Structure 1
Amino acid sequence: MPGPAPAQVVETMALPAPDLFSSAGRETGLGAELWDGASAATARSVLPMLAQKPLSPAASALARSVLATGARGPEGVGNDPEVAAARAQALVVLGEAPAAQAILRRSGGLERSEALSRVGAEAALLTGADQEACDIAQALSVARDQVYWLRLRAYCQARAEDPAARLTYELAQGVDRDAVFGRLMAARLAGTGDPGAASLRNGLDFALSRSLGLDLTTAEPGPGVGPALSGEVPLPQARWPMIATEGPVSAAMAVLAQGDIALAEGVRGTLVQDEVPQAGALDLALLDALIAAASGRQDRPTLDRLVERGGVGEARNRRRAQEAALLLAALGTPLGPQARGEFVSFNLAAPKAPVARSFAMDQAAAARLTGETALLALWTSAEAGPGGPGAADRARIIAALSAVGLADHARAFAVEGLLALR
């Protein structure tokens, strides 16, 4: 008789414990390995910056995607409440208060962190979950005497018709008198009188003004309040506001800026250069480059035309063609031998990002460190401002994002740069 079958050996591997970055705000398509190998120092530098500096549409879309992803954080900061709060605060400022709220609902230790609790309360107020914000304020076990929490507790007590609300309000004003909070909260406590105009500086002002029935459209919204006011959730893909000027080329670019590639291609198919008074060779080449970049299609003939236009005509138009060629080539469209020979003579503007940071981004991309590559790209983008980086820095970002599998975001950076050259 045959002997007993050999016992199967089952190997088990302990999974790492979740940390403050492990919860997702929404589905982003990025994996749980997003932050593998990422630098803690870079995360500490960049994450707070994303809530403080305005970003271009392409950079905003990239930031929202990586910040909303649930993945164990960079080693050394995954359980740091200050860094986790910076992540959540950046999401709020970028219009993703519901994502920040979802993350913090599943994060432990809010009651022991003033920073996490404050972002959680603000996210709740911005999404209309006022009782949730009040529960966070009640549970907080540290820094309860800070003026923000005194103001929020006064509001919560007024909602609950607690007589202690007036005393808490007076305590808050004694710590730091604020005329706007004073008039709004005084009207809320009295139940009568003129509270004045609405205020939208933050989630608490938003909640107070809303509870008083004020006209919210008359106030200037603070960071993150605008999306809450409109009720619109930012699209995962970048979009660019653009008003078409005269002519079909501009119209095609405008619809492409709103994501309608098919319509832009349809308009382009009707255009013949000599029959479009407002369009020259460069205009049509830029439109073709935009369509190629947005659709992820390599277009070597268009790249060759841009290189050719980069060597003729007025200085401004030469620069536009040269930068467009750089951006299209950064997406992976190869330069032919003749085009390369012409391209190397272009005198493009120097990059503004520090050499060390650009080198580090190249190294991170070569090692396929997705999260760190994205953070370094966002660092340069944040310093560049709402218009985004210049062509040289942008091309480097495009190539790096493409190398780590963030092709959609690489294309968005290319489209944004090409739109700026129209």
Structure 2
Amino acid sequence: MHIARPRILAALTACALVLPSAALAQTPAEVSGETVTVTTLQAPDLFSAAGRDTGLGPDLWQDASAATARTVIPLLAERPLSPAASALARAVLATGARGPRGAGEELGMAAARARTLIVLGEIAAARSILARSGGVERHEGLSRAAADAALLAGDDAAACEAAQALSVDRDQIYWLRLRAYCQALAGAPAAQLTLDLAQNVERDAVFGRLLGARLAGSGDPGAPSLRNSLDYALSRNLGLDLSEAEPAAPIAAPIAAALAGEAPPQTARWPVIATEGPVAAAVAVLAQGDLALAENVRATLIQDEIPQAEVLDLALLDALIAAAAGRHDRPTLDRLVERGGIGEARDRRRAQDAALLLSALGTPFDPQARGEFAAFAIAAPKAPPARIFAMEQAARSALQGETALLALWTSAEAGATGPAPADRARIIAALSAAGLADHARAFAVEGLLALR
């Protein structure tokens, strides 16, 4: 029987009208049984720009305390750090990751981050971050960081652009001096007037001598100066021998990076002077990061042929190799515990502290060694108990950024030699638990090197 086409369309329409509306609204994913999750991405903040690839992830600052960040990050630019602490600070601050809630949107915190990276020698990383940061011209600290980084990188034009773009606090002495320098570079007649104004506001004999020589175009400018980025730029521009000047903290690291034309090594290195003997030689090459050569030298050493006075040094070398390689080495730990109970007081203390540091990396004691170790009179930690507790809780929650900041807080207070053994051991264990194993090993190696 023939059915007219209009009747077929009418019948299909009627069927559609009686279907449940939910069925008509189904998406392809719902029809196939898939679950669709919609995630709202957070907008980037001032910490989101990366300075370089550090191996750390975009969740670095997840659940980190803004209060801790506000305390620690500026502190890292003011206090000397040990090589292990410096490497950790450079890594976490160069990482591109949304910052601690509340702090990541603050221009002052962005300035502190950039300044600290510059002080630690990460000039290129700081410039990369600042180039992608908004509001630089509206914040004196950010603009100063941009100008300092440019001067240290030999990019005087970019430093002068930062001075020109700044819209606040332009009357500070730093900017008066920088404008005088920029005017001198441009051959502007106003350069001498700006120099005179700067000298009237705050006299600086060294800056006046150097810029005066630049303006005169002749005569003896005197000795170079590396007190700050502007002195460095002036001395470089005058063609002075920069090897004749010695930079002082906190400008030493960025000046060294500027002179070398490269950032500090991403992993920690320690200046160890090798003394006579194969054990000392192996320690020295390991301190410079050559683990393979240190292991090769160690393989040639036979303990029975080592003088009794160096047996502890050999055990410390074995502990250093195990720590650097990230290996658990129970025999070495047992030997250190054994040496911790015999000999002179100084040697007992060295062995006990070494056992503490090696065990902090996770090397387990056997029952007898653990019993002997428990009786050692190791010095108590110097860090406040509350900070230690907070660091360990952050580590258990795998909060890498906060764990790192709390470890760096204690490190900054300890100074250039780094934390004492008991504090260091807590830091090593916390960094390991938080997933920062490479940095935990660096802190262990550093502590073991200090026991030589």
Identify whether the pair has TM-score above 0.5, normalized to the shorter chain: yes
Match of 2:98 in 1: 72
Residue 216 of structure 1 aligns with an amino acid whose one-letter code is L
Match of 2:28 in 1: 8
Q: Tell me the alpha carbon deviations over residues 123-152 of structure 1, each in whole angstroms, 9 at most, x when there is no partner.
A: 010001110111111000000111111111
Matches of 2:306 and 2:331 in 1, distance apart?
A: 20
Match of 2:361 in 1: 331
The alpha carbon displacement at 1:171 in A equals 1.4
SS of the counterpart of 1:83? helix
Residue 360 of structure 2 aligns with an amino acid whose one-letter code is A
Q: Is the 8 A contact 1:35 1:73 kept in 2?
A: yes
Matches of 1:11 and 1:343 in 2, distance apart?
A: 53
Determine if the alignment matches structure 1 residue 60 to structure 2 residue 86.
yes
SS of the counterpart of 2:28? coil
Match of 2:6 in 1: none
Match of 1:312 in 2: 342
Q: Tell me the alpha carbon deviations over residues 197-220 of structure 1, each in whole angstroms, 9 at most, x when there is no partner.
A: 111111111111111111111112
Superposition pairs of residues 149-188 of structure 1, within 5 angstroms? 149-188=175-214
Pick from 356, 381, 401: which aligns with 1:351?
A: 381
Q: Which runs of 5+ in 1 are unaligned?
A: none
Superposition pairs of residues 36-55 of structure 1, within 5 angstroms? 36-55=62-81
Matches of 1:79 and 1:183 in 2, distance apart?
A: 41
The alpha carbon displacement at 1:14 in A equals 2.4
Pick from 371, 374, 381: which aligns with 2:404?
A: 374
The alpha carbon displacement at 1:4 in A equals 8.5
Matches of 1:183 and 1:107 in 2, distance apart?
A: 36
Q: Is the 8 A contact 2:226 2:232 kept in 1?
A: yes
The alpha carbon displacement at 1:280 in A equals 3.2
Residue 66 of structure 2 aligns with an amino acid whose one-letter code is A
Q: Tell me the alpha carbon deviations over residues 354-390 of structure 1, each in whole angstroms, 9 at most, x when there is no partner.
A: 1111111011111111001000000100111111011
Determine if the alignment matches structure 1 residue 227 to structure 2 residue 227.
no
Q: Is the 8 A contact 1:255 1:261 kept in 2?
A: yes
Residue 28 of structure 2 aligns with an amino acid whose one-letter code is Q
Match of 1:276 in 2: 306
Determine if the alignment matches structure 1 residue 254 to structure 2 residue 284.
yes
Residue 348 of structure 1 aligns with an amino acid whose one-letter code is I
The alpha carbon displacement at 1:278 in A equals 7.0
Match of 1:386 in 2: 416
Matches of 1:38 and 1:152 in 2, distance apart?
A: 37
Determine if the alignment matches structure 1 residue 143 to structure 2 residue 173.
no
User: Whose radius of gyration is greater, 1 or 2?
Assistant: 2
The alpha carbon displacement at 1:12 in A equals 3.3
The alpha carbon displacement at 1:281 in A equals 2.6
Residue 73 of structure 1 aligns with an amino acid whose one-letter code is G
Match of 2:448 in 1: 418
Residue 372 of structure 2 aligns with an amino acid whose one-letter code is E
The alpha carbon displacement at 1:418 in A equals 0.5
Matches of 1:420 and 1:357 in 2, distance apart?
A: 24
Residue 125 of structure 2 aligns with an amino acid whose one-letter code is A
Match of 2:5 in 1: none
Q: Tell me the alpha carbon deviations over residues 293-346 of structure 1, each in whole angstroms, 9 at most, x when there is no partner.
A: 000011111111111111111111111111100000000011111111111000
Residue 329 of structure 2 aligns with an amino acid whose one-letter code is D
Residue 255 of structure 1 aligns with an amino acid whose one-letter code is V
Match of 2:115 in 1: 89
Matches of 2:176 and 2:377 in 1, distance apart?
A: 58
SS of the counterpart of 1:16? coil
Q: Is the 8 A contact 2:72 2:408 kept in 1?
A: yes
Q: Is the 8 A contact 1:273 1:280 kept in 2?
A: no
Matches of 1:59 and 1:117 in 2, distance apart?
A: 27
Q: Which runs of 5+ in 2 are unaligned?
A: 1-11, 13-22, 30-35
Q: Tell me the alpha carbon deviations over residues 262-297 of structure 1, each in whole angstroms, 9 at most, x when there is no partner.
A: 111111111112212376331211111110000001
Residue 270 of structure 1 aligns with an amino acid whose one-letter code is T
Match of 1:126 in 2: 152
Pick from 359, 364, 370: which aligns with 1:340?
A: 370
Change (3 A) 1:5 1:142: closer
Residues 48-57 or 231-240, more deviating? 231-240
Match of 1:111 in 2: 137
Instruction: Name the count of aligned residue pairs.
Output: 422
Q: Is the 8 A contact 1:24 1:102 kept in 2?
A: yes
Determine if the alignment matches structure 1 residue 239 to structure 2 residue 245.
no
Change (3 A) 1:166 1:351: same
Q: Tell me the alpha carbon deviations over residues 148-182 of structure 1, each in whole angstroms, 9 at most, x when there is no partner.
A: 11111111111111122122111111111111111
Matches of 2:256 and 2:316 in 1, distance apart?
A: 33
Matches of 1:279 and 1:249 in 2, distance apart?
A: 12
Q: Is the 8 A contact 1:246 1:278 kept in 2?
A: no
The alpha carbon displacement at 1:8 in A equals 3.1
Matches of 2:294 and 2:286 in 1, distance apart?
A: 6
Matches of 2:309 and 2:177 in 1, distance apart?
A: 58
Match of 2:218 in 1: 192
